[in-house]
Chains A and B, each alone.
Chain A
Amino acid sequence: MEPVLLRARGVPGSRSIATYLAAGGYEGWKRALGLGPDAVVKEVLDSELRGRGGAGFPTGRKWSFVPKDHPGPRYLVCNADESEPGTFKDREIIEHDPHQVIEGIAIASFAIKANTAYIYIRGEFVRWATILEEAIGEARAKGLLGTNVLGSGFDLDIWVHRGAGAYICGEETALIESLEGKRGFPRLKPPFPAVVGVFGKPTVVNNVETLACVPHIMTRGAAWFASIGRPRNTGPKLFCVSGHVNRPGVYELPLGVTFREIIEEHCGGVRGGRKLKAFFPGGSSAPVMTADEVDVKADFDACAEAQTMLGSGGVIVLDDSVDMVAVADNIAHFYAHESCGQCTPCREGSDWCADILDRMAAGHGRASDPDTLLRICRFSSEGMTICPLGDAYALPLSSMVNKFRAEFERRIADATPLPQKRLPVLPWTGPRPGFGI
């Protein structure tokens, strides 16, 4: 496939507006301004673009939920939080082609009639926040942003807002709370952000990659975009491959390639000639897949059919040297650390799973542990929590227990039981997240 989102990767000076304009940049923005908001929404609807942030929600539909009769203001928020483990694509886009994101934000803001847009970027991405600010400055200097853009009468300001270290702020309502200057506590939905979002106003939150697709849809048309991939799963997608492959990295491929193709052809197969054991198809929040499922297509619907999700497209590959108990333990700690603490099943459940898995990993598993884990996970998914983080830890953990149960049981069979009745607190033996400093 010819690169679309990554066409600037490797081009000298790709970040500057001169290079971007020379390659036909901001033509989509000009076309959008000529078409008017409704036609822009229709074009994006027709392209069948689905959100690249995790949920795969149709972008045009999301835009059309913004109430037409609202007096405003309205806001567009670009989600550059990129904190799902295994995901590193938005950074790649910003590093090589920040103007693509700025142009996408401009078009989306115009489509929903927002005169202010914020880019919420994770606090750690200092370098990439600076790159975006420079790009905004360049676009403003050329009259592509600011007051009365290109004589159209439309005003647009874009501001970069840095997070400060919290995975949950990638969730759109937590992001909105954080943008308002508060703790990142997800909000109960409905109302959805398109109706009541940041500062109580209609707000659309879209991922960096989603917005980066928009200028291409505007210049090359919805039909061209929809011709890539398959119906309902259209367009190019960035796959971030990490873990035990020969060539990890970001690959741009049409939706619907198989995971086998991604891992074996593009990434040169599993490292060191070892065998594939398992992989996470879309970040660590997606239920794990075994080596037998490697022929599943990497798109939204095929992953849903296989009872997992494409998520953010972060493919984490694990070879046969890994210990699934240790993997589950690592993941449980991530979510236990990142749970915002509002809901009991998520706050307590993630911690409890981490404690049990610590104990199992230390060689003190009990026969009842796998079922206990499954029970805790069940109570934290299926709508028992305010936001989907409850599912995000529960579904992958239960998939690991279910699909690798024999391995968990072998560990338990070899375990030395501990005498205590209560769950013991063990000295930690491996790396563990430091809780602030």
Chain B
Amino acid sequence: MTTRPLVVATQETTSDVKFDKTMEDRIADVLRRYPTTRAALLPVLWLCQERFGWISPGVISAVAERLGESAAFVEGVVSFYTMYYTSPPARYVLQVCTTLSCSVCGGRELVDHLTAKLGIGFGEKTPDGSFQLVGVQCLGACGNAPVIQINDDYYEDLTPKKLDAVLDDLKGRR
């Protein structure tokens, strides 16, 4: 498995967002699936996060305008869900499951290992912008505890040693 690094657009490109043709085509493809425009909001936010790396205030305004919603409504939705990044993420976001099965099957040790190795706590990024540590709730893979999701990919049955190998590999790739 090769986890792709997140593409994080700069502050400038995400402050005044215009959707290009490709993006407009993808939005149109989403819109035809639903009887209302509003229902396309979550999928369109996903498209934006894929494109810009995070949901900046500029993205919120652009999405609101495109779907005919107020920016406040869109922001309210964005803030309700945990997976939309409202600030630029690191290239690799380490989402460590902290729920019961993982927690009693080595998850706590994994967190201790990560904080010691990377020198960061939950919600923090390494200074070089490679890694970010996030505590998340049950990832739905509890039989293979402990589990970490890195960007879109699941890494299961982890030990500190296996995780080290994964991180070293990711760090090597830019």
- Interface residues of chain A, those whose CB is within 8 Å of chain B, are 73, 82-88, 90-91, 122-127, 157, 159, 161-167, 178-184, 199, 240-244, 248-250, 284, 314, 316, 318, 322, 327, 330-331, 333-334, 337-338, 430-437
Are B36 and A183 in contact, with the CB atoms below 8 A? no
Taking a contact as CB atoms under 8 Å apart, the answer to whether A338 and B137 are in contact is yes
- Are B145's CB and A162's CB within 8 A? no
B132 to chain A, nearest CB (A): 7
- B96 at interface, CB cutoff 8 A: yes
- Chain A CB within 8 A of B62 CB: no
Q: Which listed residue, A86, A167, A183, A432, touches B101 by the CB 8 Å rule?
A: A86
Render B106-129 as a binary contact track against A, CB cut-off 8 A, 1 for contact. 011001000000000011000000
- A170 and B111 alpha carbons, distance in the complex (Å): 27
| Residues of chain B within 8 A of A337, CB atoms compared | 137
**Least CB distance, B122 to chain A, in whole angstroms:** 4
- Range of interface residues on B (Cβ < 8 Å): 35 or more
Q: Which residues of A contact B141 (CB under 8 A)?
A: 88, 91
- B72 at interface (Cβ–Cβ under 8 A)? no
Q: Once the chains bind, are B33 and A159 in contact (CB under 8 Å)?
A: yes
Q: Does B59 belong to the interface (CB within 8 Å)?
A: no
Residue numbers in A under 8 Å from B107 (CB-CB): 431
B140 interface residue (CB < 8 Å to A): yes
List 4 extra interface pairs beyond A122-B140, A161-B33, A165-B83, CB under 8 A.
A124-B140, A249-B143, A318-B104, A435-B82
Select one of A124, A182, A184, A436 contacting B38, CB under 8 A.
A182
Contact B138 A334 (CB under 8 A): yes
Query: Considering only CB atoms, which chain A residue lies closest to B54 in the complex?
Result: A437
Chain A CB within 8 A of B103 CB: yes
Whether the Cβ atoms of B38 and A316 lie closer than 8 Å is no
Scoring B84, B111, B134, B141 by chain A CB atoms within 10 A of each residue's CB, the highest score goes to B141
* In the bound complex, CA of A124 to CA of B99 (Å): 15
Question: Can you spell out 18 A-B residue pairs with CB atoms less than 8 angstroms apart?
Answer: A88-B143, A88-B144, A90-B140, A91-B140, A123-B81, A126-B153, A184-B80, A199-B39, A243-B100, A243-B142, A243-B145, A244-B104, A248-B144, A250-B143, A316-B100, A334-B100, A337-B137, A432-B135
Once A123-B83, A165-B81 are accepted as A-B contacts, the answer to whether A183 and B76 lie under 8 Å apart by CB is yes
* Residues of A with C-beta under 8 A to B143: 88, 240-242, 248-250
**B99: min CB distance to chain A, Å:** 5
Separation in Å of the B172 CB from the closest CB of chain A? 23
Residues of A contacting B142 in the complex (Cβ-Cβ under 8 angstroms): 85-88, 240, 242-243, 248, 314, 316
Identify whether the interface residues of B are mostly helix, strand, loop, or mixed.
mixed
Residues of A within 8 A of B139 (CB): 124
A333 to chain B, nearest CB (A): 8
Nearest CB of chain B from residue A401's CB, rounded to whole Å? 17
B95 vs chain A, min Cβ distance (A):
8
Q: Does B136 contact A (CB under 8 A)?
A: yes
- State the Cβ distance, A190 to closest chain B Cβ, in Å: 23
Contact yes or no, B122 A164, CB < 8 A: no
- Residues in chain B near residue A164, CB distance under 8 A: 42, 45-46, 81-84
Tell whether, in the assembled complex, residue B103 and residue A330 are in contact, meaning their CB atoms are under 8 Å apart: yes
Residue of B nearest to A248 (CB): B143
Q: How far is the CB of A120 from chain B (nearest CB, A)?
A: 10
> Chain B residues with Cβ under 8 A from A166's Cβ?
80-82
Interface-central residue, A86, A179, A243, A434, by most chain B CB under 10 Å? A434
Which single member of A127, A199, A331, A430 contacts B108 (CB below 8 Å)? A430
A167 to B24: give the CA distance in the assembly, Å: 31
Assembly CA distance A167 to B98 (angstroms) = 14
B138 and A83: CB pair below 8 A?
A: yes
Q: B28-47, CB under 8 A of A: which get 1 and which 0?
A: 00000111101111110110
CA distance A432 to B137 in the complex (A): 9
Task: Check B80–A242 contact: CB distance below 8 A.
Answer: no
> Interface centre among B38, B77, B142, B144, by most A CB within 10 Å?
B142
CB-based contact A85/B100 at 8 Å: yes
Give 3 nearest A-B pairs by CB, closest first.
A165-B82, A165-B83, A164-B81
Whether the pair B108, A431 counts as a contact (CB closer than 8 A) is yes
> CA A28 – CA B149 in complex, angstroms?
37
Q: Is the CB of B39 within 8 A of A181?
A: yes
Cβ contacts under 8 Å, A124 to chain B: 83, 95, 139-140, 149
Q: Known contacts A181-B42, A434-B136; decide if A86 and B100 are in contact (CB<8 Å).
A: yes
